[in-house]
């Protein structure tokens, strides 16, 4: 496997960064997870725009232009001869000293990994997930805004640990006031009376690329959509529930906190959105040739 590292494609065994890199020492950096489908990098422009917005929010100057960054992503895929892949694009503050001061990091470290991914077994897409609400609360935006896709994912990892301990693959995280935010790695949606609901970004969530795509698809299908404040009560009484994310795509949820969602089966509107989303992955993005 070849890794794009600071402008060069190197073998994965030789893809190394300094132990003094502030991405390692302090989680000081940003990243994007991107998918390619049959030689099409899905919504690459949107991912790159969000990457640069995250970097701007933490005062991290990226040494490449957006066009150069997109080319680096495509070059990584082509060099590894990958038609279908998950791409992890990471930018750290770079090598510095043992202090926090970002001014002591001379230049950012940039690396791109392209590989296969299967976040959930295929049976979960057919039968649906079981999830739980966990005690760990989502970071408040005033402390560390979840819209910044930063390398500091400990908040999410703590929630994931609690999900694992409960014997389920994913967890719902609430904000400090008890409102639903998102799951540890995915955005959350419910359908009630043919209206699609999802938490508003102001509650403290990542404005997911797949999330935005689903909102657009729902509108085209004639579904009303609402970005609003949701509680566990709303989720318990949903007609349908599903999660979205770059790696997960759209995955149904059929049980939460020991309560079945509706009749506990994967419901028709969710299935229709999944099918429509598959169509998007064939058309929206940057195409490349191997």
Residues catalogued as catalytic? 149
- Kindly provide the residue ranges of all beta strands, DSSP E only, lying in the chain, ordered along the sequence: 2-5, 8-11, 29-36, 40-42, 85-92, 109-115, 129-133, 170-174, 180-183, 187-192, 195-199, 224-228, 240-245, 249-256, 259-260, 285-287
As a whole number of Å, the end-to-end CA separation of the chain is 16
Six-digit token string for 55: 């970097």
Alpha-carbon dihedral angle through residues 117, 268, 204, 228, given to the nearest 10 degrees:
170
Six-digit token string for 113: 């990994």
Six-digit token string for 124: 């979960």
Helices (H), the chain: 22-26, 44-57, 66-79, 122-127, 154-165, 209-220, 232-236, 268-280
């Amino acid at each position: 496997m070849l890794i794009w590292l600071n402008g060069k494609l190197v073998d994965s065994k030789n893809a190394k960064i300094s132990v003094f890199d502030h991405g390692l020492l302090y989680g000081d950096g940003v990243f994007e997870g991107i998918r390619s489908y049959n030689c099409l990098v899905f919504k690459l422009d949107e991912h790159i725009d969000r990457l640069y917005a995250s970097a701007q929010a933490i005062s991290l100057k990226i040494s490449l232009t957006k066009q150069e960054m997109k080319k680096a992503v495509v070059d990584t895929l082509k060099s590894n001869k990958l038609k279908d892949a998950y791409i992890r694009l990471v930018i750290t503050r770079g090598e510095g000293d043992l202090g926090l001061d970002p001014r002591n990091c001379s230049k950012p470290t940039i690396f791109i990994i392209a590989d296969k991914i299967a976040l959930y077994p295929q049976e979960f897409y057919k039968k649906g997930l079981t999830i739980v609400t966990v005690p760990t609360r989502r970071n408040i935006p005033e402390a560390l805004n979840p819209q910044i896709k930063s390398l500091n994912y400990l908040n999410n990892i703590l929630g994931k640990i609690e999900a694992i301990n409960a014997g389920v693959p994913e967890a719902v995280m609430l904000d400090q006031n008890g409102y639903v935010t998102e799951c540890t790695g995915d955005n959350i949606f419910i359908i009630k009376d043919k209206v699609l609901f999802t938490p508003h970004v102001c509650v403290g969530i990542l404005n997911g690329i797949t999330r935005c795509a689903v909102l657009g698809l729902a509108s085209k299908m004639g579904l009303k959509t609402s970005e609003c404040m949701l509680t566990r009560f709303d989720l318990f009484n949903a007609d349908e529930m599903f999660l979205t994310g770059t790696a997960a795509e759209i995955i149904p949820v059929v049980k939460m906190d020991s309560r079945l969602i509706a009749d506990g089966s994967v419901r028709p509107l969710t299935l229709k959105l999944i099918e429509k989303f598959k169509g998007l992955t064939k058309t929206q993005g940057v195409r490349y040739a191997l």
